[in-house]
Amino acid sequence: MQSQRNRLLTAALATLLILAFSDAVLARSKKSGSSSDMGLERDASGTPIIMKGYRSAPRQADTPRPGQKTSKSVRIPRGSSTYVPPPLTSSSFSGAGATTGQAVQPYNPPKITTFGDRVNNAIQSYPLQKGIGNNPTDMQMYIRQNSN
């Protein structure tokens, strides 16, 4: 009978402890609340403890906090900038210090001559250089010498 009473007493104490601490656990989970909290501990001002050494610029009185809404709305017109530079006149170019720069020339790379180009040139120049007459004899040798 004693053991059964001890078991009931132990169960009742366990139930009381669970009920007593469940309020604190529920209050803590409601306090952290947001899904972006990620379980970071915060100090009294709401700054995460991990950023303890970071010094940010002091907040001004008119700057709203992240959770607050602003009461004043600012309307920004759409479109281009309102600044229009003054037109250039011919008198601004005729000053003593004004000089016109040289026109930029496009880059023309040197011509690349491949082996095929050199062979073609040798074939076309053979009749005028070596192939006098209708019986050319050393055309292959001429092309080899001029293409390499």
pLDDT category at 35 given cuts 50, 70, 90 is: very low
Q: Which of 82-91, 109-118, 120-129 has the highest mean pLDDT?
A: 109-118
Q: What are the tokens at 43?
A: 């100090």
**Distance in angstroms (rounded) separating the CA atoms of residues 62 and 17:** 48
**For the segment 11-30, what is each residue's pLDDT rounded down to a tens digit?**
888 887 787 777 666 666 55
**For the segment 50-60, what is each residue's pLDDT rounded down to a tens digit?**
777 777 666 66
